[in-house]
Amino acid sequence: MANTEAATVTNKQIIFPDYVSGFPKESDLNVTSTTIDLTLPEGSTSVLVKNLYMSCDPYMRICMGKPDPLANSLVPAYIPGKPIVGLGVSKVIDSGHPDYKKGDLLWGLVGWEEYSIITLTLHSHFKINHTDVPLSYYTGLLGMPGMTAYAGFFEIGSPKKGETVFVSAASGAIGQLVGQFAKLMGCYVVGSAGSKEKVDLLKTKFGFDDAFMYKEEEDLSVAIKRYFPEGINIYFENVGGKMLDAVIVNMKLHGRIAVCGMISQYNLMDPEGVHNLPTVLYKRIRLQGFAVCDFYDKYDKFLDFVLPYIREGKITYVEDISEGLESGPSALLGLFEGKNVGKKLFVVARE
Contact positions toward a copy of itself, by CB under 8 A? 62, 70-74, 240, 244, 249, 253-254, 259-262, 265-266, 270-291, 294
Residue 82 vs 254, nearer CB to a copy of itself: 254
Concatenate the DSSP letters of all residues of 96-159 into one string: -STT--TT-EEEEEEESBSEEEE---TTTEEE----SS-GGGGGTTTSHHHHHHHIIIIIIT--
Residue 3 vs 72, nearer CB to a copy of itself: 72
Residue 66 vs 275, nearer CB to a copy of itself: 275
CB 223 → a copy of itself: shortest distance, Å? 18
> To 10 degrees, what angle do helices 196-204 and 175-184 make?
30
DSSP 320: E
Residue 260 vs 331, nearer CB to a copy of itself: 260
CB 110 → a copy of itself: shortest distance, Å? 23
* Sign of the torsion angle spanned by Cα atoms 232, 233, 238, 239: positive
Residue 280 vs 347, nearer CB to a copy of itself: 280
User: Which of 251, 256, 250, 249 is CA-nearest to residue 160?
Assistant: 256
CB 288 → a copy of itself: shortest distance, Å? 4
CB 276 → a copy of itself: shortest distance, Å? 7
82 close to 15: Cβ distance less than 8 angstroms: yes
CB 163 → a copy of itself: shortest distance, Å? 17
β-bridge pairing 85-95 and 47-55? antiparallel
